[in-house]
Amino acid sequence: MKRFDAIIFDMDGVIVDSEPRHERAFREIFHELGYGENHGIHFPDYIGRSDRALWLDFIEKHRPPQPLEELLAAKQNRLIEILRREQPIFPGLPELLEKLAPHYRLAVASGSNHPVIDEVLAMKQLRRFFSAVASTQDVGKTKPAPDVFLHAARLLGVPSARCCVIEDSAAGVAAARAAGMEVIAITNSLPREQLADATHIVDSYAEIERLLVPPPAGKTAEPAGATPAFPVAASATPTRHPLM
């Protein structure tokens, strides 16, 4: 029977409702650059991918005078302003982390850069739950490459096969599968049919809780007909790595 020692969370679209705010930040920068709605970018194609991937395509289309690093910084700074102002952590996410933390090592593996991750994890004191934080900034390859999930597993000291990933994007699901990990996909950003390669597809954090949080001692795990939960690791309270 499959058992997990660690749960690895994507950030954008899983921890924080940032996908529409990424788009808003890009649109504001495009407008300031003078492109308005003539930017030629189809934003759904970039869900789960990095800012760099989008900007490289934009540069290929338009050849703007600004260098890539300047464009990256402008959009990142705008996004941080929006997130800081709106604090859009998904309802139910902090409570889920509280319930998972006694049973698993937790990590973040995100396509966002560390300054954005740090800003998000400062909200509602979420950083205290995570033993490791990985960014595609650390590994150089973006999802659907598996590198960021493999890096998170190494930071945790947990084999890939004993990690379960929480994702919201098709690219993230593909990356986790390529890393040899099982995936729970939540429909925060995409419909179910675009997440079909995930191990489980859910519509709420309560469903993730039912899949991953063990029942209290002496209580039956699931009522008849319910979706079976993933079994947890034999050790109920794994040794936590110090916060990074």
Known catalytic residue at 147: no
Distance of CA 166 to CAs 77, 112, 188, 203, 204, Å? 26, 16, 11, 12, 12
H-type alpha helices, 19-113: 19-33, 51-62, 68-86, 93-100
Contact (Cβ atoms closer than 8 angstroms) between residue 8 and residue 108: yes
* DSSP codes, 2-21: --BSEEEE--BTTTB--HHH
Peptide bond preceding 144: is omega within 30 degrees of 0, i.e. cis? Answer: yes
Distance of CA 238 to CAs 4, 58, 86, 104, 232, Å? 11, 45, 34, 6, 11
Annotated catalytic residue: which of 5, 12, 17, 168? 12
* DSSP codes, 132-201: EEEEHHHHS--TTSSHHHHHHHHHHT--GGGEEEEE-SHHHHHHHHHTT-EEEEETTSS-GGGGTTSSEE
Q: At what angle do helices 147-156 and 170-178 cross, to 10 degrees?
A: 60
Annotated catalytic residue: which of 5, 10, 51, 147? 10
Known catalytic residue at 197: no
The catalytic residues are 10, 12
